[in-house]
Structure 1
Amino acid sequence: MSFPERRYADIPVGEKASVSKTVTDEVVRRFAEVTEDYNPVHVDAEFAARSLFKERIAHGMLGAGLISAVLGTRLPGPNTIYLGQELKFLAPVKLGDTITAEVEVVEKIDKPKMLKLKTVVRNQSGTVVIDGFATVKKWEPA
């Protein structure tokens, strides 16, 4: 895959970008394998049926990972250094949900070329499941 490289000066406050993913059993199991997070609420339907959620749910960080995908591939894109992230997990992501992570540039800090971005993940109904802010540095090769 190829993604356009953007310069800090060309990224305006207010610009937005997003990425979407449908959360399937396979996606959740692969995420569990990569992260070693086999919490049964994510991978065991019988256990999850007795949980607060009454069904399996995706890992919260799976949704948060989509934020990283937007930052690294779309806005600001390649050569973005992820410095920090504040997250609030507001609702569960269920199997079958299609979630969309959106970022919006809310502040530019010219020295040292840092950006503050509003980060939101919504499900297909528009419910906000994750809310927060990211701080990134836009590195530009010489």
Structure 2
Amino acid sequence: MNFIGNAFDEIAVDDTFGQTLTITEAHIVQACGLFGDFNPLHSNEAFAKRTRFGQRILHGPMTSAYMTASIGMFFYATAEAYLEHDCRFLSPVFAGDTLTVNWRIAELVPKPRHRGGIAVLAGSCRNQRDEVVAEANGKILLLDREAVSHPKGIR
């Protein structure tokens, strides 16, 4: 199956999208290896039990990466470049937490020279208790559907 995401000319301001995932021990362990960050808050259960968190926490960048995953899927094969991302971490994420990401298209900036435009995004990530664990903003350069269907040089 070839999934095709949303193109610039198919979206509107205030459109929303997102996804849900339950974080497991594997996510925390894999993040240690991926980032090379073995801080005991992430890698040492005995140490983490003595902290204000009471258990190991997921790396903030892993929460941020999970948030951007839904952008990649929503704009699958229509994105030219993810241009900007900033993320604020507001609450810890633990193994067993179910995270729901919600993105809103805040602004659309046409870029005719690029055969599409920039979508300005505002996102939040909440756990199963409806606590906001992270907020993020991003910008992504997208193609119009015609540009996806007919890449440069092929007409």
TM above 0.5, yes or no, is yes
Pairing partner for 1:131 from 131, 135, 138: 135
Per-residue deviation, 1:129: 0.5
1:99 corresponds in structure 2 to 99
- Residues 38-94 of structure 1: per-residue CA shift (max 9 Å, x gap): 1111121001012231211111111111121111112x3333221111211111111
Is the 1:87–1:130 Cα contact (8 Å) retained in structure 2? yes
Q: Tell me the amino acid that sits aligned with residue 122 of structure 2.
A: K
1:1-142 matches, cutoff 5 A: 2-74=2-74, 76-80=75-79, 81-111=81-111, 113-139=117-143, 140-141=147-148, 142=151
CA RMSD, 1 decimal: 1.6
Is the 2:102–2:124 Cα contact (8 Å) retained in structure 1? yes
Rounded to whole Å, the distance in 1 between the matches of 2:91 and 2:2 is: 33
Q: Which range moved further: 115-124 or 30-39? A: 30-39
Is the 2:4–2:78 Cα contact (8 Å) retained in structure 1? no
Q: TM-score, normalised by structure 1?
A: 0.90
Task: Kindly tell me the number of residue pairs found equivalent between the two proteins.
Answer: 141
Q: Structure 2: give runs of 5+ residues left out of the alignment.
A: none
Q: Tell me the amino acid that sits aligned with residue 77 of structure 2.
A: P
- Residues 90-121 of structure 1: per-residue CA shift (max 9 Å, x gap): 11111110111111101000125001011111
Quote the sequence identity (%).
Answer: 27
Per-residue deviation, 1:10: 0.6
Partner SS state of residue 73, structure 1 = helix
Rounded to whole Å, the distance in 2 between the matches of 1:119 and 1:106 is: 10
